[in-house]
Amino acid sequence: MSVLKALFTWWNGPGIGTRLFTARHGEEVGRDAQGNVYYRAGSGRSERRWVIYNGEPEATRVPPEWHLWLHRSSDRPPSQAQLPTRVWEREWTPNATGTALAHSPGGALVAGGRRAASTGDYRAWSPGD
């Protein structure tokens, strides 16, 4: 079943077309700390850049320095020219939206909180108004 998944589903990793193109034309440029592999093919304005994810294909797993390279904001990949680390930067964390680790404000029902009582200046809309 895994061979069929690889052939016909893009959400389980690179499809057969991407695998073939990468094998034929891809030049590995580097890897990030999560094991994602970055490739390029061609040169100049026709250069193509892409990533093959290590695990779930999730765009938020691309670190900022590699994002710059993928979107052509930087000519040299981070494997050749590292960006300087700023004192205010934190380590990358995965996007927690939709998970139990997602941030919920104090009054959110998910957080178990209660909404502050209304002050009386609110009147619900009804179709007859």
Residue 115 clears pLDDT 70, i.e. is over it: no
Would you place residue 124 in the very low, low, confident or very high pLDDT band (cuts 50, 70, 90)?
A: confident
Mean pLDDT of the chain: 83
DSSP β-bridge partners for residue 40? 27, 49
Mean of pLDDT values over 83-98: 83
Residue 38 clears pLDDT 90, i.e. is over it: yes
Mean of pLDDT values over 60-76: 89
Whether 73 and 80 have beta carbons less than 8 Å apart is answered as no
Q: Where are the domains of the chain?
A: 17-83
Going by C-alpha positions, the residue among 92, 88, 20 that lies closest to residue 62 is 92
